[in-house]
Amino acid sequence: MTDEEPLCGFTVAVTADRRRDELAALLERRGARVVLAPALRIVPLADDVELRATTLALVEEPPDVVVACTGIGLRGWLEAAEGWGLSERLKTVIGDTYLIARGPKARGALRAAGLADDWSPDSESCDEVLEHLLERGVDGQRIAVQLHGEPQPEFCGALAAAGADVVEVSVYRWVPPVDPTPLRRLVDLSVNRLVDAVTFTSAPAVGALLRLAGPDCDALLDALRTDVVAACVGPVTAAPLVRRGIPVVQPNRARLGGLVRALVDELPKRAPTLRVAGQEVTLRGHAALVDGALRPLAPAPMAVLRALAATPGRVLSRAALLTALPRGADEHAVEMAVARLRAALGGSAFVQTVVKRGYRLRVD
């Protein structure tokens, strides 16, 4: 990895569990510092009595429509059915219905099982699926909905209100992580702007992070609306954030590689560049690029640099800079932060002391 990697100097949080190592590797390959904070974990229900009973009911009384919401869920359902000796009967039943794949992963799982979907939404959105079904007419129809980890009361409720007999198929469940400490730390890092982006690969993960934030939820939402990029793998994942007025970065196609490329496009655009002491200085999350060389910075000197760069050339008093530092700091901490900032940037020429007034960046 070199200083020229597009995400060098940026810190990106990963809330995924199942494919976190893959996503982290993609981000690190492009220079990012990665914070792992799984929001949820998937618990398969292969031995679930309720799932077996639901599967038997659908085999004995076949549905008219099947909605496959996720690839992992559909594969898990078929694998569980195989363990119960119901796999072929279930595939026959599914194949005889009007079959909807919510997105490409669900479609891929169907085709791997020798099944072909009849329709799939362009947006990969449950809202578009619902609109399509209601336009098609569902009154008196039996509709099996393979859930994506959490109940979908609005989706299933709207179908039931239109006269459908809705059978919810819960193949796996999202449950809290074994150790919530990394997620609590992520809330604190986000509120204090010590991460540049938080990635989400599922809508339930968004809800889990906001729930765990508790009294800090408003502060977390404010960070996501302003300084911390919310990066979502697709529109379904983004929906809970969009509803709260949070701008979301997402790829054109719901893929991890596309998610990383979206961050590669977005984060460098947010990094201001100044000419300071004859050199080009670019402010990134936890580092400055000085004429292309990466200079990592601790939070306090980085906070001072950001405050000075916000009003280039203007003198800021110690009291003004104190408000930019972490809670509990004093004016001596400001002096220490300035000293560390000068050392990291490569000398005292970058930050000028104005006697009895404070400090300023020596901008060109």
Number of domains making up the chain: 3
Rounded to 10 deg, the angle between the 71-83 and 87-95 helix axes is 140
Percentage of the chain with pLDDT > 90?
76
* Per-residue pLDDT at 144: 98
In a domain, 203, yes or no: yes
Q: Rounded to the nearest 5°, which phi and psi values hold at 165?
A: -95, 105
Asked if 52 and 83 sit in the same domain, the reply is yes
Mean pLDDT of 130-138: 96
- 308: domain CATH number? 1.10.10.10
In which residue are the tokens 């992963």 written?
A: 105
Asked if 104 and 222 sit in the same domain, the reply is no
Q: Is the pLDDT of residue 2 over 70?
A: no
Q: Tokens in use for 361?
A: 């960046």
Q: Is the pLDDT of residue 329 over 70?
A: no
Q: Is the pLDDT of residue 1 over 60?
A: no
Walk across the sheet containing 279-283 and list its strands: 273-276, 279-283, 287-290, 293-296
Question: DSSP labels for 234-278?
Answer: SHHHHHHHHTTT--EE--SSS-HHHHHHHHHHHGGGG--EEEETT
d(CA 170, CA 150): 8
d(CA 147, CA 151): 7
Asked if 99 and 208 sit in the same domain, the reply is no
Q: What is the CA radius of gyration of the chain?
A: 25
N-terminal to C-terminal alpha carbon distance within the chain: 31
Which of 174, 201, 232 corresponds to the end of one domain? 174
Higher-scoring residue by pLDDT: 364, 266: 266
What's the pLDDT band for 46 if we cut at 50, 70, 90?
low
Contacts of 218 (CB under 8 A, 6+ apart): none
Asked if 216 and 128 sit in the same domain, the reply is no
* Per-residue pLDDT at 175: 84
In a domain, 31, yes or no: yes
In a domain, 321, yes or no: yes
CA-nearest of 53, 75, 57, 66 to 172 is 75
Coil, strand or helix at 79: helix
Mean pLDDT of 21-43: 95
* Per-residue pLDDT at 279: 92
Q: Is the pLDDT of residue 251 over 70?
A: yes
In which residue are the tokens 């916000």 written?
A: 310
* Per-residue pLDDT at 325: 85
Asked if 140 contacts 65 with a C-beta cutoff of 8 angstroms, the reply is no
Asked if 165 and 183 sit in the same domain, the reply is no
In a domain, 1, yes or no: no
pLDDT digits (tens, 9 = 90+) for 164-209: 999 999 888 788 999 999 999 999 999 999 999 999 998 889 999 9
Q: Rounded to the nearest 5°, which phi and psi values hold at 133?
A: -65, -40
- 103: domain CATH number? 3.40.50.10090
Asked if 35 and 181 sit in the same domain, the reply is yes
Asked if 153 and 245 sit in the same domain, the reply is no
In which residue are the tokens 């339930």 written?
A: 204
CA-nearest of 8, 24, 10, 74 to 201 is 24
Q: pTM of this prediction? A: 0.78
Q: Tokens in use for 217?
A: 């939820």
* Per-residue pLDDT at 172: 80
Asked if 58 and 164 sit in the same domain, the reply is yes
Asked if 201 and 296 sit in the same domain, the reply is no
Q: Tokens in use for 261?
A: 């490329």
What's the pLDDT band for 123 if we cut at 50, 70, 90?
confident
* Per-residue pLDDT at 328: 61
In a domain, 125, yes or no: yes
Q: Tokens in use for 230?
A: 């919310």
Which of 174, 191, 225 corresponds to the end of one domain? 174
Asked if 78 contacts 87 with a C-beta cutoff of 8 angstroms, the reply is yes
d(CA 173, CA 76): 12
Asked if 145 and 226 sit in the same domain, the reply is no
d(CA 63, CA 93): 8
Mean pLDDT of 234-253: 92
pLDDT digits (tens, 9 = 90+) for 52-71: 999 999 999 999 999 999 89
Asked if 161 and 187 sit in the same domain, the reply is no
In a domain, 188, yes or no: yes
Q: Among 148-162, 196-210, 276-290, 324-338, whose mean pLDDT is lowest?
A: 324-338
* Per-residue pLDDT at 331: 74
Q: Among 11-15, 216-220, 299-303, whose mean pLDDT is lowest?
A: 299-303
d(CA 305, CA 273): 12
Contacts of 236 (CB under 8 A, 6+ apart): 102, 103, 124, 125, 126, 148, 203
Q: What is the mean pLDDT of the chain?
A: 92
Q: Which domain holds residue 120?
A: 43-174
In a domain, 5, yes or no: no
CA-nearest of 147, 202, 216 to 15 is 202
In a domain, 228, yes or no: yes
Which of 235, 270, 305 corresponds to the end of one domain? 270
* Per-residue pLDDT at 45: 66
pLDDT digits (tens, 9 = 90+) for 214-232: 999 999 999 999 999 999 9
Asked if 118 and 167 sit in the same domain, the reply is yes
